[in-house]
A and B are shown apart, each in its own frame.
Chain A
């Protein structure tokens, strides 16, 4: 595998379910990101991990819980989601540390999430 991979590519879940999205980067980067794209809205940065520590959390509801066990893997744990959380969730990685994003990001293909 090369680049940034995400699984699953599509996910349908009920509001009471618990599921997890997985992201893996094969680029040797030390920063990873979760983004959300809702219909007709810009890409929104949700979480930033730099050197496996969370450095940014853009007021994301607690029903979204990120986890970064090592520099290559990033998870987004989902529980008691709402229908308005239906969106495309993209993972990205880059070189660099800290909160300012200077370096180009490499994106995965995304997970299309539908919450019923």
Chain B
């Protein structure tokens, strides 16, 4: 089993704060790194899939970066809103395995 570590486990911020989370993964045999948002009582929703070292992706106020050589990805949320409250999951894919991290649970207070 490969280790995909996410930190922090949980985060409480005020509306308007910017925040970021980390996903660490094995740097060998890298194929893709996925980020998903999972709101309570809903299905996980894809945010980004990144495959190239140095990739940066953006969707609205959310962006992500990827460093495959050192095995980490950052997810940034600018100006957090209460609707951003969710668990953010990363998942690592090598040539024949796919592993999710335990997630970072974000709570944005109005």
Q: Which A residues fall within an 8 A CB radius of B?
A: 4, 41-45, 48, 56, 58, 90, 92, 99-110
B93 adjacent to A102 (CB under 8 Å): yes
Interface class of chain A by DSSP: loop
Cα distance A45–B2 when bound, in Å? Answer: 13
Q: For A100, give its contact among B4, B31, B89, B103 (CB under 8 Å).
A: B31
Task: Please encode chain B, from 41 to 70, with 1 for each CB lying within 8 Å of some chain A CB and 0 for all others.
Answer: 011111001010000000000000000000
B43 adjacent to A107 (CB under 8 Å): yes
Q: For B102, give its contact among A42, A102, A105, A106 (CB under 8 Å).
A: A42
Closest B-chain residue to A45, C-beta based? B98
Residues in chain A near residue B89, CB distance under 8 A: 42-43
Residues in chain B near residue A41, CB distance under 8 A: 102
Residues in chain A near residue B25, CB distance under 8 A: none
Cα distance A109–B42 when bound, in Å? Answer: 6
Task: Please encode chain B, from 66 to 110, with 1 for each CB lying within 8 Å of some chain A CB and 0 for all others.
Answer: 000000000000000000000001010111111111110000000
Chain A to chain B contacts (Cβ below 8 Å), 28 pairs: A41-B102, A42-B4, A42-B99, A42-B100, A42-B101, A43-B44, A43-B89, A45-B99, A56-B98, A58-B97, A90-B43, A90-B44, A92-B44, A99-B95, A99-B96, A100-B95, A101-B98, A102-B49, A102-B51, A102-B93, A105-B34, A105-B36, A105-B46, A106-B46, A107-B44, A107-B45, A108-B43, A109-B42
> How far, in Å, is B41 (CB) from chain A's closest CB?
9
> How far, in Å, is A86 (CB) from chain B's closest CB?
18
B34 adjacent to A104 (CB under 8 Å): yes
